[in-house]
Copies of this chain bind each other. A is one copy, B any other.
Amino acid sequence: METIQIISIVAAVVALIFAAFLASTVLKKDAGNEQIRFIGQAIQEGATAFLSREYRLLAIFVVVMTVILAVFIDFDILGKVGSGAGASVPGTAIAYLVGALGSGLAGFIGMSIAVRANTRTTVQAMQGLNPALRVAFNSGAVMGASVVGIALLGVTLMFIAFGDASIVAGFGFGASSIALFARVGGGIYTKAADVGADLVGKVEQGIPEDDPRNPATIADNVGDNVGDVAGMGADLFESYVGSIIATVALAAVGAGALSSGREELAVFPLLIASLGIAASIIGTFLVRTGEGADMGRLLWSLRTGIFSAGVLVLAGTVGAVLALGLDFNLFWVVAVGLVAGQIIGTASEYYTSYEYRHTKKLAEQAATGPATIIIGGLGLGMMSTVIPGVVVVVAMWGAFQLADLYGVALAAVGMLSTLGITLATDAYGPVADNAGGIAEQAGLAPEVRERTDALDSLGNTTAATGKGFAIGSAVLTALALMAAYSGVVGVQVFNIMDLHVMIGLIIGAIMPFVFSALTMQAVGRAAYAMVQEVRRQFREIEGLLEGTATADYARAVDISTRGAMKEMVLPGLIAIVVPIVVGAILGPEALGGLLIGSIATGFLFAIMMANAGGAWDNAKKYIEAGHLGGKGSDEHAAAVVGDTVGDPFKDTSGPALNILLKLMSIVALVFGPLFIG
């Protein structure tokens, strides 16, 4: 079994070396002329300013939590934890700290490279489509490889150091803490800047998107990086780690259901993750395209990479299962997870891409004004919960039949095994988006913008798929963590007819509503502050609208940063405090009810918001592409309303729910022992 731990350490290190190699190829590219560099510098500074302030705030939180974990869990001063009672080494606290640092580091690396790749993508777009795609995609791949490398390395080392999954759960909790702030804070930041920039720039002043005269432009660009790169990365880092830990924790359950032993099953997820890293690296090299490629061709080049990686993982799993003489059901479980992830992602694309009928029909509803397109989008979002919902149910059922609850957790590992490359296709989007913005601001030739637009439009599709995938994996991970929680607290029965469970369940169901309301209102407030600032600059800076004076970009960046910091505290605290309070007062059964209530509601709510938001966005793009009256028509104005409503839906509140579900589950897992008896 130690061999497999060594293999996974090697795989993780290879991923990191690969990330370093890709990073160096990206950084070697030309960073452009002075104007491009100037814009790039401003984005870099804004992103760094946000990240450093976020991390400073987080540091306080992490230190406090580390102490709490050491005192109550490791040193067990309440004498509740039992097995770990009076440990000499604060294992959970250390694991927590390492998890937080690991996730923070991955986010830092991914964002650092993204804010440098954007200008370089712009420059490469002057040469052609393929070189631009390569730079943007490679920078996404740096994020992907860093996330899986650091996550697998960290989790393996923790298992070697502490052995016990309930201690290593601290690592997952650390990752979750960072994810919470990165996703929620990043989500608020990016949409405050985006909405603020659009409301004053496009609507009031009538200047185009990404126009350098708009003081919020740089903040908007920064937002793409802190929200969609760092936030998404931290989200999936957490899922990746959480699913592995849950699987290990359920190894004993698996051993009861399968013909393999507990020890093999405890390292099997590490092996799958290692195979996934190898497969993702190979897949990355398969992503390339020719000049003049259309949307379909571009998409296909990304899919080639993802599908190849999936096939390679499956082939590798067959080999591993046979070579190690493990139960062949394990292969099918991994396959179930991988396929389910792809279906959920594709379903999101089906509901949100204007290549398909739903979004086209939504665009047509703009003909009767903003109200009907809003109603239509909400309806579309609600309806789009069916496929993912059924897929999760079927996958859960299949995985359970194959390997009991261990199977449910392992299916999540399978789904996330090729994260190295799926995250690359996702993190690539904001880089392409930024590249287009930079081309616009630097006043480059129209064909450059056309090429970056092609890449950006592809990025929107992969973003939709990626969001579906992120939600699906979050749900499966949360369910797996809940199963692990059940083992830790020794409660096998959570009976709905038990009043405490039912009360927990209803409280759990309320959580996604409250969390979404808080994050949406946060965007509203932060965007309002941005609107005031942008208006002020247009009013007070003479010559700004005429282009003879420069906007005070830093001030706008600062406002978004402050807004995000202030607004992420309350939802963050709620997500941690509520499960602890429910567990402490109503007991471990009620906490189980809370988890399932929040997972069921939050899952569907997240899908609804992501898909409604994606469909509104693309309905607007469809009209802008010249359909139904085109840009400037009443239809377009109605579609812009839909898109603006969709912004916090798909980029703030929806994704924040992924974190809520996983975080509450891991809080339950870590603090569970305190609630027994």
* Secondary structure class of chain A's binding surface, majority of residues: helix
A560 to chain B, nearest CB (A): 17
Q: Hey, which chain B residues are within 8 Å of A381, CB to CB?
A: 517
Docked-complex contact A385 and B596, CB < 8 angstroms: no
Docked-complex contact A385 and B493, CB < 8 angstroms: no
| A393–B508 CA distance with the chains assembled, in angstroms | 11
| A564–B390 CA distance with the chains assembled, in angstroms | 29
Q: Hey, which chain B residues are within 8 Å of A383, CB to CB?
A: 513-514, 517-518, 521
Q: Hey, which chain B residues are within 8 Å of A492, CB to CB?
A: 495, 497
| A376–B502 CA distance with the chains assembled, in angstroms | 31
Q: Name A501's closest neighbour in chain B (CB-CB).
A: B496
| A496–B499 CA distance with the chains assembled, in angstroms | 14
**Given A496-B593, A501-B496: A382 in contact with B203 (beta carbons within 8 A):** no
> Which residue in B379, B514, B528, B644 is a CB contact (below 8 Å) of A371?
B644
A436 on the B face (CB < 8 A): no
A106 to chain B, nearest CB (A): 31
A374 on the B face (CB < 8 A): yes
Q: Hey, which chain B residues are within 8 Å of A597, CB to CB?
A: 600
Q: Hey, which chain B residues are within 8 Å of A378, CB to CB?
A: 517, 520, 645
Q: Hey, which chain B residues are within 8 Å of A495, CB to CB?
A: 492-496
Chain A 73-115, CB within 8 Å of chain B: the 1/0 string? 0000000000000000000000000000000000000000000
Task: Mark the stretch among A209-217, A280-288, A362-370, A425-433 that contacts chain B.
Answer: A362-370
The count of identical subunits is: 2
Docked-complex contact B600 and A505, CB < 8 angstroms: yes
Chain A 371-406, CB within 8 Å of chain B: the 1/0 string? 110111011111101100110110011001000010
Chain A 495-511, CB within 8 Å of chain B: the 1/0 string? 11101011101111110
Q: Hey, which chain B residues are within 8 Å of A645, CB to CB?
A: 371, 374-375, 378
Q: Name A520's closest neighbour in chain B (CB-CB).
A: B379
Q: Name A597's closest neighbour in chain B (CB-CB).
A: B600
A34 to chain B, nearest CB (A): 37
Q: Hey, which chain B residues are within 8 Å of A400, CB to CB?
A: 499
Q: Hey, which chain B residues are within 8 Å of A644, CB to CB?
A: 369, 371-372, 375
Docked-complex contact A524 and B592, CB < 8 angstroms: no
Q: Hey, which chain B residues are within 8 Å of A509, CB to CB?
A: 389, 600-601, 603-604
Q: Name A516's closest neighbour in chain B (CB-CB).
A: B382
A205 to chain B, nearest CB (A): 14
A483 on the B face (CB < 8 A): yes
Within 8 A of B (CB), among A522-566: 523-524, 527-528, 531
Docked-complex contact B382 and A506, CB < 8 angstroms: no
| A527–B371 CA distance with the chains assembled, in angstroms | 12
Docked-complex contact B496 and A596, CB < 8 angstroms: yes
| A528–B517 CA distance with the chains assembled, in angstroms | 31
| A370–B497 CA distance with the chains assembled, in angstroms | 44
Q: Name A491's closest neighbour in chain B (CB-CB).
A: B497
Q: Hey, which chain B residues are within 8 Å of A486, CB to CB?
A: 497
Docked-complex contact A375 and B524, CB < 8 angstroms: yes
A26 to chain B, nearest CB (A): 37
Docked-complex contact A393 and B503, CB < 8 angstroms: yes
Docked-complex contact B514 and A648, CB < 8 angstroms: no
Q: Hey, which chain B residues are within 8 Å of A396, CB to CB?
A: 499, 502-503
Q: Hey, which chain B residues are within 8 Å of A245, CB to CB?
A: none
**Given A375-B520, A521-B379: A368 in contact with B507 (beta carbons within 8 A):** no
Q: Hey, which chain B residues are within 8 Å of A524, CB to CB?
A: 365, 372, 375-376, 379
| A521–B369 CA distance with the chains assembled, in angstroms | 16
| A369–B648 CA distance with the chains assembled, in angstroms | 16
Docked-complex contact A641 and B520, CB < 8 angstroms: no
A192 on the B face (CB < 8 A): no
Docked-complex contact A513 and B369, CB < 8 angstroms: no
| A50–B531 CA distance with the chains assembled, in angstroms | 50
| A378–B497 CA distance with the chains assembled, in angstroms | 32
> Which residue in B393, B405, B520, B531 is a CB contact (below 8 Å) of A382?
B520
Q: Hey, which chain B residues are within 8 Å of A390, CB to CB?
A: 510
A360 to chain B, nearest CB (A): 15
A381 to chain B, nearest CB (A): 8
| A199–B373 CA distance with the chains assembled, in angstroms | 13
Within 8 A of B (CB), among A16-33: none
A608 on the B face (CB < 8 A): yes
Chain A 596-620, CB within 8 Å of chain B: the 1/0 string? 1100110110001000000000000
14 additional A-B residue pairs with CB within 8 Å, beyond A368-B531, A371-B641, A393-B506: A370-B371, A378-B517, A378-B520, A379-B521, A382-B520, A383-B513, A393-B503, A483-B497, A494-B496, A496-B592, A497-B592, A509-B600, A509-B601, A641-B641
Please name the 5 residue pairs, one residue from A and one from B, whose CB atoms are nearest each other, closest first: A371-B644, A382-B517, A509-B600, A383-B517, A494-B496
A-B contact pairs, 25 of them (CB 8 A): A199-B368, A203-B369, A370-B370, A371-B640, A372-B524, A375-B524, A375-B645, A379-B516, A380-B517, A382-B514, A382-B517, A383-B513, A383-B521, A386-B510, A386-B513, A389-B509, A389-B510, A405-B497, A483-B497, A495-B495, A496-B496, A509-B604, A510-B604, A513-B604, A597-B600
- Chain A residues within CB distance 8 Å of chain B: 195, 199, 203, 365, 368-372, 374-376, 378-383, 385-386, 389-390, 392-393, 396-397, 400, 405, 479, 483, 486, 492-497, 499, 501-503, 505-510, 513-514, 516-518, 520-521, 523-524, 527-528, 531, 592-593, 596-597, 600-601, 603-604, 608, 640-641, 644-645, 648
